[in-house]
Amino acid sequence: MRTEFNRRNKLQGEEAELAFMLKAVRQEFRVARPHGDSAPYDFILEWQSRLHRIQFKSTRCFDLKRGYQVLSVWGFHRSCHYTEEHIDFFVVWIEPEDHWYILPVAATKHRYMLAFPIGLPGRKNRWSQYLEAWHLLKHAAQDA
């Protein structure tokens, strides 16, 4: 039944968001969440009084050709790309692998989908430099 599928997806998303908040707190960030869902970002992370707008994505789904994937667009028809005007970073959690990617939004420009070909022979993971790159959030705060 479609309603049960939507409810399960919603619960999985809420569980993933709680996992993100716990991970961020363990990295010694303060975590805030905007009221409602009209902001283009999901969370605000604070490090040494510097704030970062975070768009959080998570996935459990694996594709044999592309690996794990998340959408990197928003809007009614998913036609709008996130830019530096909307967010500062994507945080992507590949749940089955427990991999956390910290991607500056500038690195993802004009991509509809972010693919993480983890475990696929012959496929290079263009995002590997951002695996567990929490330091990017901390250095960005220090450079500001």
Domains along the sequence of the chain with CATH: 2-143 (3.40.1350.10)
d(CA 16, CA 7): 14
Q: CB under 8 Å to 79, separation ≥6 — which residues?
A: 73
Least confident interval from 21-30, 49-58, 78-87: 78-87
pLDDT digits (tens, 9 = 90+) for 29-66: 999 999 988 899 999 999 999 999 999 999 999 999 99
Query: What is the DSSP code string of 31-93?
Result: EE--SSS-SS-SEEEEETTEEEEEEEEEE--EETTTEEEEE-EESTTS-EE--TTT-SEEEEE
Count the Cβ atoms, other than its own, within 10 Å of residue 92: 25
Least confident interval from 13-27, 48-62, 94-108, 128-142: 128-142
Question: By three-state DSSP, how is residue 114 classified?
Answer: strand
